[in-house]
Amino acid sequence: MNFARCVAMTEIALRGHVFNWLWRSREHRRAVRSDVISQVIPRYFRRYLPAAAAIAERQPVRDDANEKIWTIWLQGEDKAPPLVQACYRSVRKNCTQELVVLDEKSLRDYITLPDIIWKKRAEGKIKNAHFADICRVELLYEHGGVWLDSTGFATAPIPDWIMKEDFFVYLAGKNVGSPYSFMQNCFIRSRRGAYLLDAWRAMILDYWMHENSNFDYFMHQLLFKTLVMYDPRAQVHFAVMPHVDQDPTHALWWSYADKPFDQETFDRVTSGAFFQKLTYRGADNPPKGSFADVMINKMYKN
């Protein structure tokens, strides 16, 4: 572990935990930890900005009619659990773009990564979650289109205003997740050649070529935050990207999954975004007739 990383981790431990006084409320302590992480990690990640600075801007390829929605289930689509199968059905029902589900074998047909990345993954230094983070950006770099997590449940087509953007991601909202993550990477829209995607990819690869473990669960999001905070070209592109928070994409599952299904409520809650992020909580044996049961076992089956 390099000295600068040790210093950063020590600062997080001291400011975020040791001196984050126990008599504070849980919410206050969590907010303090988030503030510390949101400051310290991007400061550390500035060492990977030269990789972004070395990127030559290129004209984005506008081939929207042939773009695809990419996702990965490493064991193969036929081995995916019912919740994931339901998400795939929803995308194929509601979205006009072809959904391509890649697995461990087919992935190599679509992306090319440095040998050291494959090696570190084989050695267990890059876990599946962060390997998927690398792959989603690489797929868009090489092919363009859309990335949607396998737990993304589509309820409408992807809006035209999103597809007209060279690059778009939702930003971290106030009501769900960890605000310090800055942005959401379960959905990414990028044309091939978009500078924000190219520069972000360069930083991600540079990180993993030099380091042997993840810094934080949201490290790929925080690399993006570092990019748009400190890279002058990225600041320009990010400023013109629509800034939309992710909360409407998380409005359904956490609040309604176990409740009796109601179509009017479903339509109202899902009207704020074209997809809803699901989780495996309560998905194995959902209450009969609940939102989770209907979405997983009944909806979009015909």
Residue 108 tokens, joined: 């190599």
Instruction: Express each pLDDT in 91-134 by its tens digit.
Output: 999 999 999 999 999 999 999 999 999 999 999 999 999 999 99
Please say if the pLDDT value at position 140 is more than 90. yes
Backbone dihedral angles phi then psi of residue 154, each to the nearest 5 degrees: -80, 140
- Say how far apart CA 130 and CA 232 lie, in whole Å: 27
Residue 106 tokens, joined: 């087919």
pLDDT at 20: 74
Backbone dihedral angles phi then psi of residue 189, each to the nearest 5 degrees: -110, 125
**Stretch 172-195: mean pLDDT:** 86
**Stretch 278-297: mean pLDDT:** 88
The residues, ordered by sequence, that sit 6+ positions from 75 with a Cβ below 8 Å of its Cβ are 103, 104
- Nearest 5°: CA angle at 98, between 93 and 102? 110
Instruction: Express each pLDDT in 62-75 by its tens digit.
Output: 998 899 999 999 99
**Stretch 276-293: mean pLDDT:** 88
- Say how far apart CA 177 and CA 139 lie, in whole Å: 25
Please say if the pLDDT value at position 21 is more than 90. no
The tokens 């953007």 sit on which residue? 165
Q: Which of 6, 9, 216, 222 is nearest to 127 (CA)?
A: 216
**Stretch 69-84: mean pLDDT:** 95
Q: Mean of the per-residue pLDDT values for the chain? A: 92
- Say how far apart CA 196 and CA 228 lie, in whole Å: 8
pLDDT band at 178 (very low <50, low <70, confident <90, very high): low
**Residue 181 or 118, more confident:** 118
